[in-house]
Chain A
């Protein structure tokens, strides 16, 4: 493939996006030191034009997804059908703000196939849940285990798809550090039997107990590690804000490999300030 042809592709893609935009909503940039941008419904704006930080919406298009602010804060996405409606936005990215975070606060399920999907071209990341979606905080380290070149970009497309669902979010944002997350550390970008994996959870507030379960995205199913569904973390000190677990993987209860971010670490923080689990994308490929 020649470089010239590639440039044509880029141009084609941009023109397609440009031609399609009729209305948009704007995200807020740098609302605080930890946040590069945030969409929390406060800045929704339906004016037209292709502007970085706005969500694509084409009224009347049966595959277009509208983002609407909620009066109590946050915003809603509503797909009244199974057309595979989606919205896309161009967002700023920098290596200093690697975490994509969103908080799903509610759903209304409609008849038919139900799915929410979030995807970005950074590392070809997509994450989704089907049939029975789950509320909670979702955290993805977009850059972990990506080549440096891929991590050095300054902007990226972010896309949301919805099928037969209304989904309520408090926010979606890109941050330096998430308030709640668990980090997996492994020397190799692939976790497989024999891998040594350390899990580290750094919390804002102290907690009485922290554990994680590996779950599939899509149809949410548990993945047993070494025959166990739960990985128990222990506090590193009396502050009970940093919790860790380290294990050597002997078995992964998987029928086939799962690519990066297609496995979620469901973190249950007990006795902290959370009332919901935190779902953290595992930025490693899993191979049974």
Chain B
């Protein structure tokens, strides 16, 4: 195919490469290319090597393919020519990735962000994958229903595909395009001279989805086929006569056009098949099949086949889904001790208590008995026997004799008709006092050396703030309760571990365990040490929860005294991989064209907290990494959160169970008064209310809230009551808060306010302003703290100072250019420099020179009508001898100031005359003892 000819054919889109052939009826997969409809399908060829191979020569052994569609499916035949057809490896047992094969890459959305891969070998072996985030993640165990077949032929071999559009179930119709991204690749690997060739021109790998060719002419999928089984979870309740059984939970997404009654067939390969009737509505459906049976013929996971057929229209869709068919007839769930099954020094170890969770059929229950025994660690063996007549059996053992450092073994056995059918064992340890600090989680509260603790600290403390801000920060009382952490993040242990192993469901390498061991051994005995940081945003890089769980268990085994934490937006996915989950729902404000919106509404904050709290694990902590920064570093239109937005999101997080305050980030903390004072304010609030916020005595409370835009928390501790009411909406709301508990009060105090609120018979009427939070206490809890109004007045005053400094450059960084001896600048990039250097904040790092630079300079470049100035104020950390030059008549002219006023972190140069130039340049040197120049603000003044 000649490139220019192809382009000429593509009248509608500028970058289109080809048009898929449309056919009226299905094409057969019979290994023939004539007499069956395939002969009318245009052929594409011109396969080439990856450019990284370094040759423009086309492969001697060529490949061609034909692609066609009907209204329901895509048909592809790939013709792999081979001068030695007898040497093609047609064994069906050949390893998929080291034999002769073809691969299809398809993006029905036409976007490179998500695409599908279908592989079939010359021997007919095959697999399929779905990728999102341009190939970074595989969010679904992708097993669609599709067909392929391989056929040897006289000049090579053919591979034919039929892929129904319903197989692309990870792409909704709303994202479906008539122009797809398509690539076909061929692997010729069964002989020496391994060869990879591609239809789309690619550079170094097959997953360069941006470089896939565009192919037009695909029909929109029938909306009745826009449905997907997204999750399948079996619960095995019994195992009798070789048959496992129990309910099967499905999560099914359906377009409204796909709603209706369906026949669902569940097939276990080589095992049982069952049929069910289910009704789907438009949207997300949770379907529970009450009884499904399995033989569990597969080793490991069982690939269940699910096919849904609409009873009215006959339209069907389906997939396979890997599930664990495992029967755990008995599980021990400990309540005491809870955290990592240890008694910590100071904890009451007199009783071991918990529940046995039984998974037995009614028939089994009739003849079943549970024998629970406890022994070891200095305890005399104790045995309890229970009739297995319910699903949950509470138990309790005296364990006061458990020795320090002793480990007792708890064993539960299920006997059916007197024969042991299953057993479960766990250990309980009474830990010795640790040499260093000791932290654990008890009833949803972090305990530090035996005392409840609500950690409060800014993320990335000390990172890219500059010396002047560090002095302000360190000298100030921001009511923090800081913590020390050590990273065991895989990529920090071994830099390429994410690509090599951490994204797969595998056990980490011995090298990884060894690296983690070194970190743990270096920290676990330190008196000031608090937490291990296991991974930052693991969901963003597709880190496997299976992999992380190995590291979590390893760390917990080596050091049970220090919890493991992570910052994530997918806490539910990683719930077994850490103890503390600081969720970060960044609201990302955008201010533009006189309008403001939040990329993530404040009302979504609670969803992220609930990813943790929904599990009701008393040994897990939900935390909040709120947005205390701006995305201005990569988006001119981004803004900092307002005070009201900060308030609403922070109180919402607290009301929804946050017990770990870790806002992001230090490098922007001093940028705006509301950010800095907001950080202090919430730390102070948490500190003052800490006993209440850590109390588990939460009381029922209702809000009149038809829009579901109000969060509440009513809690009591030490005889004091706290009520939090948060308006999550940027609009006024009226509500009535009611609670039996509130009947005790005829007046509640405004926390950090001067007023009171008057509940009447347990009801409190509130008219909430946009994003307003009402915080009420039954006793005064804000002694010594500024009121909210005073803080807001301080913020307004500081903001007035920031915004009225008189600089001609104030907030105009986007209207001119800057240049410097270090253009990347030691901050978050070139745009961050232009934002921070002219924002009226005179002590936050905007630019930093290279450490060993021979010269340090910063330049302002104006397009037209440069500002007229007579003074320059420069804020930063630099030495004496600041020089200012301007561009005149094609060369630099050094200015001689009439007066210079130099302070520790600033210099004011007064030139005594009006100056104007398209380029103004500062030449600087490091301050004595410093290795770099730091700049915080440059102001030109009239």
Q: Pick the contact of B823: A124, A158, A222, A257 (CB < 8 A).
A: A222
Contact check, A222 vs B861: say whether CB atoms are below 8 A apart: no
Interface hit among A66-74, A102-110, A169-177, A194-202: A102-110
Interface contacts beyond A132-B635, A208-B918: sample of 17 additional A-B pairs, CB < 8 Å, sorted by A: A1-B43, A6-B8, A12-B217, A88-B12, A121-B13, A122-B14, A132-B634, A157-B13, A157-B14, A208-B887, A209-B887, A229-B819, A230-B823, A256-B203, A271-B862, A271-B866, A274-B864
Q: Chain A residues with Cβ under 8 A from B9's Cβ?
A: 6, 9-10, 13
B522 within 8 A of A: no
Contact check, A119 vs B14: say whether CB atoms are below 8 A apart: yes
A27 within 8 A of B: no
B592 within 8 A of A: yes
Q: Pick the contact of A274: B5, B174, B595, B863 (CB < 8 A).
A: B863
Q: Chain B residues with Cβ under 8 A from A131's Cβ?
A: 634-635
Q: Pick the contact of A84: B12, B177, B636, B831 (CB < 8 A).
A: B177
B887 to chain A, nearest CB (A): 6
Q: Per-residue 0/1 for B1-33: is the Cβ within 8 Å of any A Cβ (1 yes, 0 no)?
A: 110111111111111100100000000000000
B599 within 8 A of A: yes
Q: Chain B residues with Cβ under 8 A from A211's Cβ?
A: 819, 861
9 A-B pairs with least C-beta separation:
A13-B11, A9-B9, A270-B918, A271-B918, A119-B14, A108-B593, A229-B823, A121-B14, A132-B635
Residue of A nearest to B638 (CB): A132
Q: Pick the contact of B12: A17, A107, A110, A125 (CB < 8 A).
A: A17
B590 within 8 A of A: yes
Q: Pick the contact of B11: A1, A17, A276 (CB < 8 A).
A: A17
A187 within 8 A of B: no
Number of B interface residues at 8 Å Cβ cutoff, please give it. 53
Contact check, B14 vs A108: say whether CB atoms are below 8 A apart: no
Residue of A nearest to B916 (CB): A271
**Contacts A1-B43, A230-B823, A276-B863; A257 near B203 (Cβ below 8 A):** yes
**Contacts A13-B10, A157-B14, A270-B919; A1 near B1 (Cβ below 8 A):** yes
**Contacts A270-B863, A273-B864, A274-B864; A1 near B203 (Cβ below 8 A):** no
Q: Chain A residues with Cβ under 8 A from B706's Cβ?
A: none
Q: Pick the contact of A275: B13, B204, B637, B863 (CB < 8 A).
A: B863
Q: Chain B residues with Cβ under 8 A from A124's Cβ?
A: 7, 14-15
Contact check, B636 vs A132: say whether CB atoms are below 8 A apart: yes
Distance in angstroms between the alpha carbons of A9 and B51 in the assembled complex: 29
Contact check, B597 vs A149: say whether CB atoms are below 8 A apart: no
B272 to chain A, nearest CB (A): 44
Q: Chain A residues with Cβ under 8 A from B13's Cβ?
A: 88, 119, 121, 157, 159
B81 to chain A, nearest CB (A): 17
Distance in angstroms between the alpha carbons of A108 and B599 in the assembled complex: 14
A60 within 8 A of B: no
A120 within 8 A of B: yes
Distance in angstroms between the alpha carbons of A235 and B891 in the assembled complex: 12
B527 within 8 A of A: no
Q: Which of B830-868 contact A (CB under 8 A)?
A: 830-831, 861-866
Q: Could you list 9 A-B pairs, sorted by A, with CB under 8 Å?
A: A1-B2, A1-B42, A9-B9, A13-B10, A17-B11, A120-B14, A208-B890, A209-B919, A211-B861
Contact check, A111 vs B12: say whether CB atoms are below 8 A apart: no
A139 within 8 A of B: no
Distance in angstroms between the alpha carbons of A107 and B557 in the assembled complex: 55
Q: Pick the contact of B8: A10, A147, A158, A219 (CB < 8 A).
A: A10
Q: Chain B residues with Cβ under 8 A from A269's Cβ?
A: 863
Could you list which residues of chain B lie within 8 angstroms of chain A, going by C-beta atoms?
1-2, 4-16, 19, 42-44, 51, 110, 174, 177, 203-204, 217, 590, 592-593, 595, 597-599, 634-637, 815, 817, 819, 823, 830-831, 861-866, 887, 890, 918-919
Distance in angstroms between the alpha carbons of A257 and B595 in the assembled complex: 38
Q: Chain A residues with Cβ under 8 A from B592's Cβ?
A: 107-109
Q: Chain B residues with Cβ under 8 A from A1's Cβ?
A: 1-2, 5-6, 42-44
B919 to chain A, nearest CB (A): 6
**Contacts A9-B9, A9-B10, A108-B592; A271 near B15 (Cβ below 8 A):** no
B598 to chain A, nearest CB (A): 8
Contact check, A109 vs B14: say whether CB atoms are below 8 A apart: no
A141 within 8 A of B: no
A95 within 8 A of B: no
Q: Chain A residues with Cβ under 8 A from B595's Cβ?
A: 108
Contact check, A272 vs B864: say whether CB atoms are below 8 A apart: yes
Distance in angstroms between the alpha carbons of A83 and B7 in the assembled complex: 25
B206 to chain A, nearest CB (A): 14
Residue of B nearest to A270 (CB): B918
Q: Pick the contact of B42: A5, A13, A111, A257 (CB < 8 A).
A: A5
Residue of B nearest to A146 (CB): B4
B69 to chain A, nearest CB (A): 14
**Contacts A106-B593, A159-B13, A274-B863; A6 near B5 (Cβ below 8 A):** yes
**Contacts A256-B203, A275-B863; A9 near B19 (Cβ below 8 A):** yes
Q: Chain A residues with Cβ under 8 A from B593's Cβ?
A: 106-109, 166
Q: Per-residue 0/1 for A208-238: is the Cβ within 8 Å of any B Cβ (1 yes, 0 no)?
A: 1101000000010010000011100001000
Q: Chain B residues with Cβ under 8 A from A84's Cβ?
A: 110, 177
A188 within 8 A of B: no
Residue of A nearest to B110 (CB): A84
Q: Chain A residues with Cβ under 8 A from B887's Cβ?
A: 208-209, 270
Distance in angstroms between the alpha carbons of A55 and B410 in the assembled complex: 76
Q: Chain A residues with Cβ under 8 A from B815's Cβ?
A: 275
Residue of B nearest to A257 (CB): B203
A268 within 8 A of B: yes
A179 within 8 A of B: no
Residue of B nearest to A5 (CB): B42
A248 within 8 A of B: no
A263 within 8 A of B: no
Q: Which of A79-106 contact B (CB under 8 A)?
A: 83-84, 88, 106
A14 to chain B, nearest CB (A): 5
Distance in angstroms between the alpha carbons of A279 and B42 in the assembled complex: 41
Contact check, B635 vs A230: say whether CB atoms are below 8 A apart: no
B62 to chain A, nearest CB (A): 14
Contact check, A16 vs B12: say whether CB atoms are below 8 A apart: yes
A64 within 8 A of B: no
Contact check, A270 vs B203: say whether CB atoms are below 8 A apart: no
Distance in angstroms between the alpha carbons of A239 and B593 in the assembled complex: 39
Residue of B nearest to A205 (CB): B864
Distance in angstroms between the alpha carbons of A219 and B5 in the assembled complex: 32
Distance in angstroms between the alpha carbons of A229 and B590 in the assembled complex: 28
Distance in angstroms between the alpha carbons of A147 and B6 in the assembled complex: 15
Residue of A nearest to B859 (CB): A230
A126 within 8 A of B: yes
B289 to chain A, nearest CB (A): 36
Q: Per-residue 0/1 for A246-277: is the Cβ within 8 Å of any B Cβ (1 yes, 0 no)?
A: 00000000001100000000001111111111
Q: Chain B residues with Cβ under 8 A from A159's Cβ?
A: 13-14
Residue of A nearest to B40 (CB): A5
Distance in angstroms between the alpha carbons of A23 and B43 in the assembled complex: 36
Which of B14, B16, B203, B865 lies at the interface centre, i.e. has the most chain A CB atoms within 10 A of its CB?
Answer: B14
Q: Chain B residues with Cβ under 8 A from A277's Cβ?
A: 817, 863
Q: Chain B residues with Cβ under 8 A from A275's Cβ?
A: 815, 863-865
Distance in angstroms between the alpha carbons of A5 and B20 in the assembled complex: 12
Distance in angstroms between the alpha carbons of A122 and B8 in the assembled complex: 9
Contact check, B637 vs A132: say whether CB atoms are below 8 A apart: yes
Distance in angstroms between the alpha carbons of A12 and B9 in the assembled complex: 9
Q: Chain B residues with Cβ under 8 A from A14's Cβ?
A: 11
Residue of B nearest to A20 (CB): B12
Residue of B nearest to A63 (CB): B177
Q: Chain B residues with Cβ under 8 A from A109's Cβ?
A: 590, 592-593, 637
Q: Pick the contact of B890: A106, A120, A132, A235 (CB < 8 A).
A: A235
**Contacts A270-B863, A274-B864; A157 near B12 (Cβ below 8 A):** yes
Q: Chain A residues with Cβ under 8 A from B830's Cβ?
A: 222, 229
Q: Per-residue 0/1 for A34-75: is the Cβ within 8 Å of any B Cβ (1 yes, 0 no)?
A: 000000000000000000000000000000000000000000
B51 to chain A, nearest CB (A): 7
